[in-house]
Amino acid sequence: MDDDSQPYDEDDLLVRARQGDLSAFDGLITRHREKIYMQICFMVHNAEDALDLTQETFIRAWKSLARFDGKVPFLAWIRRIATNASIDLCRRRKRRPQTELELGPMRIDAASRTTPSTGEVPGSGLDRAEIRRRIDAALVTLSPDHRAIIILREIEELSYEEIALHLGCSQGTVMSRLFHARKKLQTQLTDLHEEF
């Protein structure tokens, strides 16, 4: 987790990590792993893939540490690696994402065409699950880049400037993509917030 009250700790960890100190890098992982994991979860909609990608992100970061020049915060740099890894996975995927993260008591592979009729799932749980499925389905229709921007802006609440840093593009590109992504999501989810 970020600890803004001790900024020099992170600088110290970075210096030592860049010199090959694995225990210092371990400290950096501990600081940022949850944020990175949760960011990736939002992108890839699968906890197991998110765990793998989180690890891959930190491994890539270790390999690229010599190239980190400190012009952006370390977290922003790591987030960019995570976002790129997530986008790569989303592009490689051909199947629909498994909605495993938050669906209520019974969570079924999205590939299943039917659901079990146990009658034991509370009605309110099903409603939330259905809303979540609709949201996930809508997010899937976005391109990986647009999805990343929606997540970074609407969920992670980053500024346009921060998003531009994470994605390695201009703020204008961020705002344009955000506009189109919002329009698309709005069209697909308007009935949801009117109904519920």
Partner 1 sequence: MKNSDDLQWNPTRQLLREHLVVSPPEHPDFINSQVLAAIRREAALASVVPAKPTWSLGRLLWPGFATLAAAVLLSVFLLPRDFAGRGSGAFISQVLTAQAMDPKTSVTSFQVPDEGGVVLWIDGVDYIPATHRVQ
Partner 2 sequence: MKRSVLFAVILGAFLLGTFPARAAGDRIWTALVLGTNEKPPAEVPEKLENYAPALRKIFGYNSFYLLGQKKRDLVKGNEAWLMPTKEFFLGVDCLAREKTYYKLRIELYRRENLLVTTEAKLARDAPLYIRGPLWGGGQLIFLLVVR
Residues that bind partner 2 (CB under 8 A): 47-48, 51, 98, 100, 105-109, 111-118, 120
Among positions 128, 140, 160, 173, the unique one binding partner 1 when judged by CB under 8 A: 128
Taking CB under 8 A as the rule, does residue 172 contact partner 1? no
d(CA 50, CA 70): 26
d(CA 165, CA 101): 28
Token couple for 111: 């590939």
Pair 151, 42: CB distance under 8 Å:
yes
Q: Judged by CB under 8 A, which stretch of 4-12, 35-43, 73-81, 89-97 contacts partner 1? A: 35-43
Nearer Cβ to partner 1, position 57 or 166? 57
Token couple for 160: 């346009």
Q: How far is the CB of 95 from partner 2 (least distance, A)?
A: 10
Site track 4-23 with partner 1 (rule: CB under 8 A), x = hit: ------------------x-
Taking CB under 8 A as the rule, does residue 161 contact partner 1? no
What are the phi and psi torsion angles at 145 (to 5°)? -65, -40
Token couple for 29: 């992982």
Pair 122, 165: CB distance under 8 Å:
no
Q: Judged by CB under 8 A, which stretch of 6-14, 71-79, 98-106, 165-173 contacts partner 1? A: 98-106
Nearer Cβ to partner 1, position 73 or 104? 104
Taking CB under 8 A as the rule, does residue 185 contact partner 1? yes
Q: Residue 17: which of 32, 3, 4 has the closest Cα? A: 32
List of residues 6+ apart from 147 with CB closer than 8 A: 43, 90, 139, 181
Token couple for 120: 């034991």
Provide the binding-site residues for partner 1, judged by CB under 8 A. Answer: 22, 25-26, 29-30, 33-34, 37-38, 41-42, 47, 51, 54-55, 58-59, 62, 100-107, 118, 120-122, 128, 131-132, 135, 150, 154-155, 182, 185-186, 189-190, 192-193
